Amino acid sequence: MVCVAVLHIVRTDLSPISTRLSEYASGPSGWLMATAFVTLACGIAALGLDLWNGRGRDRSAWFILSASSLAAVGTMFSGVFRTGASDISETIHSRASAVAVISIVALALVHSAPFARDKSGVSSDPVGAGIALTAAVLVMISPVLHHTRWTGLSQRLLWIAVATWLLRTAWLDRPVPSHTGNDTQQEHIADEQASITENIKQAGPVRD
């Protein structure tokens, strides 16, 4: 996301309203967009594997693993095959990007859906489900706006929703540091203090 934000500052010749994100891959700053694609692909793959490990081996878990893997591959292909390089590259980039976006949205819907979370014993996440549903709606209207002057804006809104869901889910699913060691040490100190106090009481008052 940092790379994409930098490109919006560097490439002032491209309108964020009418220009699609893939067009930032052309020109001398194209390596920034390629870096963004590769980084995103690795992040999606890691998140999908983490979400899969956190669930039981039910159908939703395997769907999450499959969708995240497909999204990662599609995103990687989008970075390798740049738009405008050639007709073949343009076609592969377009198809790969579509597969990646649809797979991410499907992943978000299944992971955040109340019925899927209930079956896997995962607590409900209405906020995540709302973000996933918003992304799904934006995916459906994207083809309608693709050849209009609003194509860039619609795509950015879609990716904002997708990125928000990915970052939020990764943050919520992060490992929480365990304080078991500290708690055990504190309990041991408390036991020693109680034992000393008990020994003093049993010994009684000190006499001359």
In a domain, 12, yes or no: no
Task: Calculate the average pLDDT of the chain.
Answer: 81
| Structural domain range at position 131 | 2-6+24-174
CB atoms within 10 A of CB 57: 10
> What is the rounded CA–CA span in Å between residue 169 and residue 112?
9
What is the domain count for the chain? 1
In a domain, 49, yes or no: yes
Closest CA relative to residue 106, chosen from 46, 171, 60, 164: 60
| pLDDT tens sequence across 180-195 | 445 555 665 666 666 6
| pLDDT tens sequence across 51-64 | 888 777 778 888 99
DSSP H or E stretch at residue 2:
helix 2-10
- For 192, list phi and psi in degrees, rounded to 5: -65, -40
In a domain, 194, yes or no: no
In a domain, 188, yes or no: no
In a domain, 68, yes or no: yes
Query: pTM here?
Result: 0.75
| pLDDT tens sequence across 131-142 | 999 999 999 998
Residue 26 near residue 83 (C-beta atoms within 8 A) = yes
Residue 142 near residue 135 (C-beta atoms within 8 A) = no
